[in-house]
Amino acid sequence: MWSLYEATQLRVHDEDILDEALDFTYSHLNSLIITNQLISPFLGTQIRRCLNTPLHKGVPRMETWCYISSYNEEPAHDKVLLNFAKLDFNMMQKMYQKELGGITK
């Protein structure tokens, strides 16, 4: 349902079916949060973030960091995958810092 909600965010004017899907998914996702019927805290964090700011409207690097941070809290997370994601994020951040340093000189 979370994916459907994100997909409805890409609708254009006068797409009635997607407008209905947006209302449907928003109300159901919101009720899951209110009634605390979530499978995991990780999922709750992701749903709250997408209800506040759709994924495509966020800054990709910030969205990545928020995802990594919340995935770290997931008890069943894959440690190798998480370490790889953190390493990749930090390497890219270092590369951006070098580029920015070269531009500002």
State the average pLDDT for the chain.
87
* High-pLDDT (> 90) share of the chain, %: 35
Structure tokens at 27: 């109300």
Q: Is the pLDDT of residue 90 over 90?
A: yes
The distance of Cα 65 from the centroid of its chain, to the nearest Å, equals 9
Structure tokens at 36: 């605390």
Distances (CA, A) of 78 to 3, 20, 68, 71, 82: 22, 36, 11, 9, 6
Instruction: Write the DSSP assignment of 49-73 as a string of letters.
Output: HHHHS-GGGS-HHHHHHHHHHHHHH
Burial of 8 (0-12, 13-18, 19+ CB in 10 A): buried
Tens digit of pLDDT for each residue in 6-56? 888 888 888 899 899 999 999 998 888 888 776 677 888 888 888 888 888
The full set of domains in the chain, from first to last, is: 2-104 (1.50.10.130)
Tens digit of pLDDT for each residue in 7-17? 888 888 888 99
pTM score, whole prediction: 0.70
Report residue 92's pLDDT band, with 50, 70 and 90 as the boundaries: very high
* High-pLDDT (> 70) share of the chain, %: 97
